[in-house]
Amino acid sequence: MTGHLPSFELDIRITYADTDQMGVVYYSNYLVFFEQGRTELMRHLGVRYKDLEETEKVGLPVTEANCRYRAPARYDDLICVRTKIKRIGGVHMEFEYEVVNKETGQTLVEGFTRHVFVNEKWKPTPVPKSLLAKLHTD
């Protein structure tokens, strides 16, 4: 499934704990920001990861992740994590991310993650119908 899929914007204030010795956001923290954006996008759609795990009995592990770093974020910057669902396949889902500085509008990081739906035995399983129903935007 492609086309007009949902997106969500999440603002995050950078803390000292997010930065490295050089005073910029440590590179792996962007993956944490991606996760926060993805989680809130799903929650915005009325789908909590916790419910997928408990009710649908599926997990959604990351199988691929990519970040392209364009400019640094620093302590106390306000950033916006723009998350959108890029594609949904038979057993997988892909998200795209853009992290921008809220004050300047500058793109800091672009990336994507790919996930596979797995059952309790960690075998690929179809995308839950309950999730597909939430994604249909007429």
Domain extents for the chain?
7-135
DSSP bridge partners of 120:
none
Residue pLDDT, tens place only, 78-133: 999 999 999 999 999 999 999 999 999 999 999 999 999 999 999 999 999 888 88
pLDDT band at 42 (very low <50, low <70, confident <90, very high): very high
User: Under DSSP, is residue 35 helix (H, G, I), strand (E, B) or coil?
Assistant: helix
pLDDT at site 135: 80
Residue type (1 letter), 56 = E
Largest CA distance in the chain: 48
Q: How far apart are the first and last CA of the chain?
A: 14
Q: Could you tell me the pLDDT band of residue 3, with boundaries at 50, 70 and 90? A: low
72: CB partners within 8 A, 6+ apart:
24, 25, 108
pTM here is 0.91
Q: Tell me if residue 18 is catalytic.
A: no
Catalytic residue (one of 11, 18, 20, 77)? 20
Indicate the pLDDT class of residue 4, thresholds 50, 70 and 90.
low
* CATH superfamily name and code, 7-135: Hotdog Thioesterase (3.10.129.10)
Q: What angle do CA 20, 64, 109 make, to 5 degrees?
A: 40
